[in-house]
Amino acid sequence: MKLSEVRVEGGWKIPTDSLAKAAHPCALLSCMGENYSKDTAMDVAIGVFREMNRRDLAEELLDEMVKEHKQKYKEHVVQGFLRYKEVNSCPGENVSIRSRFTSLSISRKPGSKREAAGIGHGCADTSNGAATITAQTLFNPDEDGQTPQVVVLVGAPGMGKTMTVRKVMVEWGEGTIYTQFDYIFCIDCKDIALPKEASVVDLVSRCCPQRRVPVGKILEDQKRILFILDGFEALGFALVQPKEELSSDPGAVKPLETTLMSLLKKTLLPESSLLITTRPMALQGLGQCLEGEDYMEIVGFSRATREEYFHRYFGNDHKANAAFGFARANEILYSLCGIPIMSWTVCTILKQELRKGKDLMECSKGTTWMSVFYLSWLVKHRGRDSPWDLQRFLLKLCSLAADGIWKHKVLFEEKEIKARGLDQPDLLPLFLNEEIPRKGADHGNIYSFTHLHLQEFFAAMSYVLEDDVEVVGGSRGITKDINVLLESYSESRQDLNVTVRFLFGLASRESREYMDNAIGCRTSPRAKEELLRWLQGRHRGSSQPGQGRRLSRLDAFHFLFEMNDESFAQRALGAFTGVDLQDTKLTLYDQMALSFCIRQWPGLGSVTLQGCSFQQQDPKYEVAASPPMPRGSVPCSSCPSDAGAHHGPIAEQQHQELHSPIDGLCRALQQPGSDLRVLRLQWCRLPESCCAALAALLAQHRSLERLELGDTALGDRGVRLLCQGLRQPGCCLRVLRLRYSRLTSACCKDLAAVLGTSPCLEELDLSFSEGLRDAGVELLCQGLQQRSCRLQTLRLGSCRLTGACCRALAAGTPPLTCLDLSDNELGADGVLQLCRQLRSPSCPLRALGLSTAALPQDALQDLAALRELKPGLEVGDLLEQDAPQTGAMARLPFHRGALPGRRGPPSLRRGALL
């Protein structure tokens, strides 16, 4: 047979004379290579073999062609799915799925079928016994050894369904997963370019890069083919097709919905596998046309994978740790980060803050801003409804959310959704999860918000959204009066805290402008003034006689921090003069909120924290390198020096201890214009590391007159550092109280140097420093004897002193007007030495603290004689009753009950005043 007589589709393109000369195989190959592409040449060769009745060779060549096509297709898949463009990314800035994808928690209930599929609430920490699987194991056999043929992967918007599909496609293309499938074809149901009519052959060809696709050969082995329908709900067509209209011919061109329904109903390629990703809204329709399917739900990031995502997003451990530390410090935000799109939102915003060089401890982007940004992402994925439609829908949605919050309700029946006019297929699935009822249930579908905190966010929106449209349907029983919400929270409804916090955030100018410009939602400006009046009014009566009004509720600081409006905060705080917090565990986010308010509070005169604990940042998650202290705040070599001052150690120590528990608080207190006069940190268990920040504060803050520290672990080393701040020219401290501070005599030399040089210090209280002993007092007296000493009150109650220290005290008392030695066993000799000094007319002492219960008669007679000589002198137990909060005394390591020979705790033993 001559080649020119062989029928070739399209005819021979090789010139006849060349074809006639191609008698040798090599010559034929050369002619074909010159006139055909490789694929066409293969087609020609296969056609030739068939004409020659050498079908064995044709099939062998076709198998080789399919094998080569499969390899090229896999390369095409990897190239097409590996990189993607994120929302708001710059032109040409694409992200690799390898570097970004983080494993998602996927839940499959045992024996899961449609009736068992339930949609969760955006929390990956499931505890209902559901098996947790991964994207790589979706088609693994179950506990009964059955391999699923149809898997429906359900997830709310932003849960990572499409990212999971990308990961599956790339890893299959690289040959690491799903090797049981020769081909995986992904059909993007959100693609607006999908044809109105198509056959399965057409859909497969659309997925392939080559012009000539051996579709027939590919489809022969159906069991080794997986079709992925990503975003199934976007198709939007009815899933009801008469059986006779369904197709069984892969090559038959039908309306797209008919072809896809034929795949779902298994009239087309019945042995192929299906992976369908969808939002919950499409589950009910899918359940009517699928059989034997497994339902699995993406429930988001677990606690461990949240941190992994931050590291993958930033690609820099330092920045990732800083951002994750910020998110983890905010309990609400950290919980929301279980939703993948919310983690992306937080990372995107914090990346911008870090790029600006901002300290995340002072980040102005709170939970509300993150949620507003998330809302804008949802809105961008809605249908083509008008902004007017969106405004009306959000009014109804927010009314539903508020109704649920008031009634402690998170699940809503289908009839409620319809009654409120929320059954809009383009909008409802963006905001609410849909749960299909179990078979036999007597109710319709059940709806819920993706996360409880998001329901609280939308509930807060109901109080600020403009409602100049028609009355919101189904809003009976719910008022939009902000004052009702605020007063209910103040009186009894503490569960409304997060809603109120969101309300403050939504009332900010930044949030209002963004909602209007980026989302198209109009919000009312009136809420701001109502919030201000409520915030100032709820703290009436929160002060003691003769003192200014104090803020004693931590939530007020959170509300102001959430709004992050400096002028509003200054107006709100202007009515108060102090902070008074007791028995509070201050988380990192609490500290951020408190520091923000202090920086906006020029009239702040006193800060009192009693029984409070400070959560300390794990060094791994340092939110940001703290900015350097203002020049002059830390003693340095350029500062004027006093005798005995050591500037190097304080600067070095402050650098080493920069992230002490109170570092953020002290930085905030150093703001220019601060009028702070009193700082009390009592029963807060402060460690030695806090002294660097306190020393810097003392050195700079000229208005600070009183520092009280109690129940601390400052120790001698910490006090030495503190003393270097006290010796600086900028320090104007008048009262220093270091009660229960674990001090020994080793620190007294530094304290004595302060007494001899400080022009302002008038009172020093070292009570309950049982390690001080007589040796420490003798060192202190060296400072008292300095002519420059201005000290008037020295309190050494319960320091385990004996009469041995009284000689030094008698010599050093001239500048003192009050000396408290209560709860010390001085003995008769010690008391007699003090009495001799006190009889001097030049002695200015007006109060002497002594425990007289165990004194002998001769010592009591001397004291009585002294009382007659100086009737204005007060003698008795002066130990102040500033007992710690309940249980705090038991925490003190040095509180071991009474000393040997004592009858009870020092705070309960008081001798009669003579």
pLDDT number for residue 43: 65
Region of poorest pLDDT, from 6-20, 410-424, 509-523, 792-806:
6-20
How far apart, in whole angstroms, are the C-alpha atoms of residue 177 and residue 133?
A: 14
**Which token pair is 95?**
């992200």
Per-residue pLDDT tens over the stretch 425-470: 778 888 888 876 655 555 678 889 989 999 999 999 999 988 754 4
Kind and range of the H or E run holding 503: helix 497-506
Q: Which of 154-163, 511-520, 726-735 shows the lowest per-residue confidence on average (mean pLDDT)?
A: 511-520
Per-residue pLDDT at 64 exceeds 50: yes
pLDDT tens, residue by residue, 91-101: 667 889 999 99
Average pLDDT over residues 770-781: 90
For residue 807 the two structure tokens come to: 């000689």
H or E element: which one contains 836? helix 827-838
For the segment 745-756, what is each residue's pLDDT rounded down to a tens digit? 899 999 999 988
- What residues pair up with 314 in beta bridges, in sequence order? none
Output 345 or 520, whichever has higher pLDDT: 345
Whole-number pLDDT of residue 652: 46
Apex CA 692: angle with CA 687 and CA 697, to 5°?
115
Per-residue confidence at 15, pLDDT binned at 50, 70, 90?
low
In sequence order, what are the residues at sequence separation of 6 or more whose Cβ sits closer than 8 angstroms to the Cβ of residue 179? none
State the Cα–Cα distance between residues 571 and 592, nearest whole angstrom: 19
User: Which region, left, alpha or beta, applies to residue 380 given φ > 0 means left and ψ of -120 to 50 means alpha?
Assistant: alpha
The sign one gets for the Cα dihedral 523, 381, 399, 339 is negative
Q: What is the pTM of this model?
A: 0.78
Coil, helix or strand at residue 195: coil
**What residues pair up with 771 in beta bridges, in sequence order?**
744
Give φ, ψ of 3 to 5 degrees.
-60, -35
User: Measured between alpha carbons, how far is 539 from 384 in angstroms, rounded to an integer?
Assistant: 48
Identity at 468, one-letter amino acid code: D
**From CA 849, how far away is CA 766, in angstroms rounded?**
14
What is the arithmetic mean of pLDDT over 79-85? 91
Average the pLDDT over 142-160 and give the result.
Answer: 88
Q: How far is CA 264 from the centre of its chain?
A: 42
Burial of 331 (0-12, 13-18, 19+ CB in 10 A): middle
Report the percentage of the chain scoring pLDDT > 90: 35
pLDDT of residue 2: 53
Per-residue confidence at 386, pLDDT binned at 50, 70, 90? low
Radius of gyration of the chain (CA): 39
Structure token digits, residue 528: 């701001």
For 196-300, list the strands marked E by DSSP: 197-198, 225-230, 254-255, 273-278, 294-300
How far apart CA 294 and CA 296 sit, in angstroms, is: 6
Which DSSP category does 198 fall into?
Answer: E
Of the pLDDT bands very low, low, confident and very high (cuts 50, 70, 90), residue 863 is confident
Residue 566: other Cβ atoms inside 10 A = 13
> Hey, what are 836's tokens?
């001799």
Q: What is the pLDDT of residue 208?
A: 87
Q: Rounded mean pLDDT of 330-346? A: 91
Structure tokens at 831: 């008391």
Q: Which of 281-290, 343-352, 544-553 has the lowest mean pLDDT?
A: 544-553
List of residues 6+ apart from 831 with CB closer than 8 A: 803, 806, 850, 855, 859, 862, 863
493 pLDDT higher than 70: yes
Q: Write down the residue that tokens 């073999």 correspond to.
A: 49
Q: Residue 351 pLDDT > 70, yes or no?
A: yes
Instruction: Please classify residue 541 by burial: count the beta carbons closer than 10 Å to its beta carbon, then call 0-12 exposed, 13-18 middle and 19+ buried.
Output: exposed
Which of 480, 335, 294 is CA-nearest to residue 399? 480
Task: Please give the Cα distance from 715 to 161 (Å, whole number).
Answer: 56
Helix (H, G, I), strand (E, B), or coil: what is residue 484?
helix
Question: Which of residues 771 and 908 earns the better pLDDT score?
Answer: 771
**Residue 658 CB: number of other CB atoms within 10 A?**
17
Structure tokens at 39: 């694929």
DSSP structure string for 5-39: GS--TT---S-HHHHHH--SHHHHHHHHHHHS-HH
- Going by DSSP bridges, is the β-strand pair 550-551/197-198 parallel, antiparallel, or unpaired? unpaired
Q: What is the mean pLDDT of residues 778-801?
A: 90
105 versus 49: the higher-pLDDT residue is: 105
Q: How far is CA 627 from the centre of its chain?
A: 22
DSSP string, 561-572: HHHT-HHHHHHH
643 pLDDT band (50/70/90 cuts)?
very low
How far apart are the C-alpha atoms of 35 and 14, rounded to whole Å?
Answer: 6
Q: Evaluate if residue 894 carries a pLDDT over 50.
A: no
Mean pLDDT of 206-227: 86
Q: What is the pLDDT of residue 122?
A: 43
The answer to whether the beta carbons of residues 657 and 692 sit under 8 Å apart is: yes
- In the structure encoding, which two tokens stand for residue 492, read together? 């009894």
In this predicted structure, the answer to whether residue 914 has a pLDDT above a threshold of 50 is no
Q: What pLDDT is stored for residue 602 in this prediction?
A: 84
Report the distance separating Cα 440 and Cα 443, nearest Å: 9
Q: Report the alpha-carbon distance of residue 173 to residue 75 in Å, rounded.
A: 7
Query: Where do runs of H (alpha helix) occur along 330-451?
Result: 331-336, 340-355, 367-380, 387-406, 414-419, 428-431
From CA 833, how far away is CA 741, in angstroms rounded? Answer: 29
**pLDDT above 70 (res 28):** no
H or E element at residue 514: helix 509-514
Task: Assign 492 a pLDDT band (cuts: 50, 70, 90).
Answer: confident
3-class SS at 723? Answer: helix
The region of weakest confidence among 78-82, 190-194, 273-277 is: 190-194
pLDDT computed for residue 275 by the predictor:
96
Q: Among 203-217, 413-427, 586-600, whose mean pLDDT is lowest?
A: 203-217
At residue 46, does pLDDT exceed 80?
A: no
Q: Two tokens at 339?
A: 């939703």
Per-residue confidence (pLDDT) for residue 443, from 0 to 100: 63
**pLDDT of residue 508 exceeding 50:** yes
* Whole-number pLDDT of residue 264: 93
Q: Beta partners for 273?
A: 226
* pLDDT bucket at 41, cuts 50 / 70 / 90: low
**Contacts (Cβ under 8 Å, ≥6 apart) of 53:** none
pLDDT of 435 reads 76
Tokens of 869: 């000589």
Mean of all residue pLDDT scores within the chain: 80
Q: Give percent above pLDDT 70 in the chain.
A: 76
Terminal-residue alpha carbon distance, the chain: 138
* Distance from chain centroid for Cα 565: 21
Q: Check whether 586 has a pLDDT greater than 50.
A: yes
Q: What is the pLDDT of residue 653?
A: 46
Rounded Cα gap, residues 427 and 458, in angstroms: 15
Q: Minimal CA–CA distance to 730: which of 697, 773, 690, 700?
A: 700
Query: Residues with Cβ < 8 Å from 648, sequence gap 6 or more?
Result: 637
Rounded Cα distance between 183 and 382, Å, is 32
